[in-house]
Structure 1
């Protein structure tokens, strides 16, 4: 049975966790749109055509690269740099198995880190937060000083000395 026939019957194909072999078919609740069904059907239609497959790979590769590049540029700045890099990785994971595996590895380790931090006492969490804040402040200071020639610390000390 093809993916299109499964989608018409309200079923979806789920790949196994290791990415090998064929997926199992899971029946969705009657009367409901299959989860991510339209996107999956669209991707299957594109992959069914050799030209569509190439266009999809190129589009996913370029879009993912742009998002990852923006995320990498934003990492030294305060904000969601790593989150944007992970979003670019998720875009790549639509079409590339290596990106899917790397994304799963990242998710697993972020979950582990989050659970570990959640088990720690309040003083340890405060220390981790302070170290993280100091790291971000140092990155911002270094970015401003070496990219724009603005030494924020020196200016702050000069201001305090004159006022």
Structure 2
């Protein structure tokens, strides 16, 4: 009887994709250690970069999730966290999809206002640029 792995595939059947690529390196002790170190370094750096980007407009959370996906190649806890995150995002999207159009519009406007506020704060603190004052000045409105 063939030895089976946790994914119920025969042990002698090669996997494809990134898992197969990494499996070729994992055939030796140094290879396993090297893969673990590389995955930890790259995944950790991506997660940290994403965490730094969260308060700013842009893909902060997406970068954190991408870093977790990299860490999930080697760590079970990261895989569990990715599964949990996926379930929560799907539940949120299904909940929003079931809401009345007015609620969905309110959520969209709230997200827009939040991003605009973060952008305003970021530009004001980083560069001293107040785009609200600038916009009012362009419109000829006294400030």
Fold similarity call, TM over 0.5: yes
- 1:140 has 2:124 as partner: no
The reply on whether 1:93 has 2:72 as its aligned counterpart is: yes
Structure 2's unaligned 5+ residue stretches are none
Q: Does 1:24 align with 2:3?
A: no
Partner residue in 2 for 1:127: 106
Is residue 69–residue 79 contact of structure 2 (8 Å, CA) maintained in 1?
Answer: yes
CA-based RMSD:
2.5
Aligned counterpart, 2:50: 71
Query: CA-to-partner distance for each residue in 1:75-94, whole Å, 9 max, x for gaps?
Result: 33333221121111100000
Cα deviation, 1:121-152, whole Å, max 9, x if unaligned, reads 11110000000110000111111111222122
Instruction: Indicate how the Cα distance of structure 1 residues 38 and 141 shifts in structure 2: closer, same or farther if over 3 A, else same.
Output: closer
Q: Give the number of aligned pairs.
A: 139
TM-score (norm 2): 0.82
In structure 1, the gaps of 5 or more residues are: 4-12, 16-22, 27-33
Partner Cα distance (2:88, 2:26) in 1: 31
8 Å Cα contact 1:76/1:140 also seen in 2: no
Could you list the runs of 4 or more consecutive aligned residues of structure 1 that deviate by over 6 angstroms after TM superposition? none
| More off after superposition, 99-108 vs 74-83 | 74-83
- Distance in structure 2 (CA, Å) of the matches to 1:49 and 1:107: 33
- Cα distance in 1, alignment partners of residues 71 and 84 from structure 2: 14
The TM-score, its normalising length taken from structure 1, stands at 0.73
